Structure 1
Amino acid sequence: METVGFIGLGNMGGGMSANIQKAGYSMVVYDLREEAARPLLEGGARLANTPAEVAAASDITFTSLPGPYEVESVSLGASGVLEGIRPGSVYIDLSSSRPTLIREIEPQFRAKGAFVLDAPVSGGKTGAASGNLAVMVGGDREVFDRVKPVLDAFGDKVFYAGEIGAGSVAKLVHNMIGHSVRQAIAEGLTLGVKAGVEPEALWECIRRGSLGRMRVLHEGLVRTMFRGEFEPASFALNLAFKDISLATELAREYDVPMPMSTLAEQIALTAMNRGWAEMDSSITVRLQEEQSGVEVRAPHVDPARAGRFISTHPDDE
């Protein structure tokens, strides 16, 4: 069985490395705080003095670090991973970092005959401890297939995203969308409660509706955006515009700020002025595509298969 090195044993790295060790891998570890390594050392891991020493002793070396500055320093700096890496071994960065950086790092490792993958994770500290993590991997597909058993040791949803940097792009997009959606939810909840609805009742209405089931992500965009088809409408843009306009009107009545919702209303109005009122409300994505200079198309994805992910909770009706 391969020897696994792990650098960065904090909130995320501590849990992930523990699960790798539980899977039976021999481990070499390093952290600036030696006490963070104690649980692994008690389980038989060896403590290294530098990241270079970890890489020199490992077939696969992981880093789990706070951000781009630390990733660059640990991977390329003095006594860093690159200095100790052996030909044929693999360096995998689990950090949420800059895609451009991992794409700059990879050729330097390739010049030494080593391989690089970026594999940021989603699931938080609890998921890292339990192994309930999504792992988004970028890099050579054959290398991914080789190391997947180790990734499976700490992630229950391991995905191959594409070439080097694709994992990091996917993670940043995932978190960006998540934080934006959270803001929109916060706007809606504050409006609803201030307008007289009890928080729990409002929450139940939202989570059991189309939004809570995330139909727009699992099924709606698969049928429309992925195919470039916005007719016939499932829910027409003019009806969506009417609803969001009524909501922002209510917000003004109750003095509730709605920055995300107001922007969405203006985008919908722009699409209406393009003559798209009778098209599916998802037609607004075409404005974003035009301004970005890219079309998001994946017509091979089956909407029926995608839709099966909608009801994932046992109490969904």
Structure 2
Amino acid sequence: MRIGFIGLGNMGGPMALNVMKVGHTMVVNDIRREMAAPHLRQGATWADTPKAVAEQSELIFTSLPGPREVEAVALGENGIIEGAAPGTIYADLSTSSATLIRRIHGIFRAKGIHVLDAPVSGGASGARRASLAVMVGGDEALYNQIKPVLDAIGDKVTYIGEIGCGTIAKIVHNMVSICSRVAIAEGLTLGVKAGVSPRALLDAIQRGSFGQGRVLKESIPDTVFKGDFDNVSFALKLSRKDLGLATDLAKEYHVPMLVAGLVEQQLEEALQRGLGDKDSSAIFLLQEERAGVHVRDPMRP
């Protein structure tokens, strides 16, 4: 298959090399030609513009810093849209905007060009090892058509839904990851200042229910997705008690707890609204009410 790859940085560079390893012909482009040196040594062809890449490719990947770059490469002067023939497939691997990829999809569709959004997760090391998670949005038949190529990029390739859904999943994933890091930072600074060694503290967290992924593996699929908050594993009132102990300890040791303070307010509101005897995941009910949506999986029994 003739594949174009635009964006050969820390993520795109190794992804493109991994695609080449499984035998595909590669045309490459980057704003810095020197980034293509490893690919050219392996037999790739250089193209001066995204348009030139598109003219020579059946499938085009982009791996770019963000929405501005994606828009310029896809729709700008000498962009993909100017060179791609009808039937060409364009898959954006960037973490970008769902609104933008849906707009690109509409514009490209009018010219007979197919679009998928396929952002990746796993960092530069995952890109080198071809162990990335790939979250794909768009036509499922199109996804199935290029999945063998995506399998050269990552070992956790998943079809998420219609166009834009892969990007939304990646944005949510990153948001949860980033916010969790702030909460972890609060917890570790509290524990260390209160006298626990960093290594022992981390080991304790890793061995506990949070570190074992119980929220994602059990609580959300078994309780939240079913809306079964009366099946109590750990009562919300106990969550309020435990977090209060943490914020009290933080006051004693003068450790700021911005995230914990906000969560404490949420738990207090939940208690005032009579949710204390429900499962601790009933905190979802407050956010669902504010967002005007229920997080339920109709496929769950």
TM range (shorter): over 0.9
Partner of 1:140: 139
- How far, CA to CA, are the matches of 2:200 and 2:300 in structure 1? 35
Q: Which amino acid aligns with 2:220?
A: L
Deviations along 1:158-197, whole A, 9 cap, x unmatched? 0111011001100010000001101111100000011111
Deviations along 1:56-106, whole A, 9 cap, x unmatched? 111100011111100000000011001101111100111110110000000
Partner of 1:177: 176
After TM superposition, list the pairs within 5 Å mapping 1:42-53 onto structure 2: 42-53=41-52
Q: Which amino acid aligns with 1:147?
A: I
- How far, CA to CA, are the matches of 1:32 and 1:263 in structure 2? 43
Q: TM-score, normalised by structure 2?
A: 0.99
- How far, CA to CA, are the matches of 1:211 and 1:32 in structure 2? 43
- How far, CA to CA, are the matches of 2:183 and 2:105 in structure 1? 38
Partner of 2:78: 79
3-state SS of 2:3 partner? strand
Partner of 1:293: 292
Deviations along 1:249-279, whole A, 9 cap, x unmatched? 0000000000111111110110101111110
- How far, CA to CA, are the matches of 1:137 and 1:119 in structure 2? 4
1:152 lines up with 2:151 in the alignment? yes
Partner of 1:94: 93
Q: Which runs of 4+ in 1 moved over 4 A?
A: none
Partner of 1:244: 243
3-state SS of 1:257 partner? coil
- How far, CA to CA, are the matches of 1:27 and 1:147 in structure 2? 15
Report how many aligned residue pairs link the two structures: 301
Q: TM-score, normalised by structure 1?
A: 0.94
| Structure 1 residue 214, shift from structure 2 partner | 1.2
- How far, CA to CA, are the matches of 2:300 and 2:3 in structure 1? 36
Deviations along 1:3-54, whole A, 9 cap, x unmatched? 1100000111001001000111001111111111111111111111110111
- How far, CA to CA, are the matches of 1:32 and 1:192 in structure 2? 46
Partner of 1:129: 128
- How far, CA to CA, are the matches of 1:249 and 1:14 in structure 2? 49
Q: Judge conservation of contact 2:223–2:231 (CA < 8 Å) in 1.
A: no
- How far, CA to CA, are the matches of 1:5 and 1:228 in structure 2? 46
- How far, CA to CA, are the matches of 2:101 and 2:124 in structure 1? 23
| Structure 1 residue 232, shift from structure 2 partner | 2.4
| Structure 1 residue 299, shift from structure 2 partner | 4.6
3-state SS of 1:21 partner? helix
3-state SS of 1:229 partner? coil
Deviations along 1:93-125, whole A, 9 cap, x unmatched? 111101100000001111111100011100111
- How far, CA to CA, are the matches of 1:191 and 1:103 in structure 2? 44
3-state SS of 1:6 partner? strand
Partner of 2:261: 262
- How far, CA to CA, are the matches of 1:152 and 1:97 in structure 2? 21
Q: Which amino acid aligns with 2:62?
A: T
Partner of 1:309: none
Partner of 1:166: 165
- How far, CA to CA, are the matches of 2:231 and 2:120 in structure 1? 38
| Structure 1 residue 301, shift from structure 2 partner | 4.0
Q: Judge conservation of contact 2:226–2:300 (CA < 8 Å) in 1.
A: no
Q: Which amino acid aligns with 2:5?
A: F
Structure 2: which 5+ residue stretches go unaligned?
Answer: none
3-state SS of 1:11 partner? coil
- How far, CA to CA, are the matches of 1:18 and 1:196 in structure 2? 48
- How far, CA to CA, are the matches of 1:244 and 1:238 in structure 2? 10
Partner of 1:230: 229
Partner of 1:312: none
Q: Which amino acid aligns with 2:63?
A: S
3-state SS of 1:158 partner? strand
- How far, CA to CA, are the matches of 2:117 and 2:222 in structure 1? 31
Q: Which amino acid aligns with 1:83?
A: E
3-state SS of 2:275 partner? coil
Partner of 2:202: 203
- How far, CA to CA, are the matches of 1:13 and 1:207 in structure 2? 32
| Structure 1 residue 127, shift from structure 2 partner | 0.7
- Tell me the C-alpha RMSD between the 2 structures: 0.8
Q: Which amino acid aligns with 1:283?
A: A
3-state SS of 1:252 partner? helix
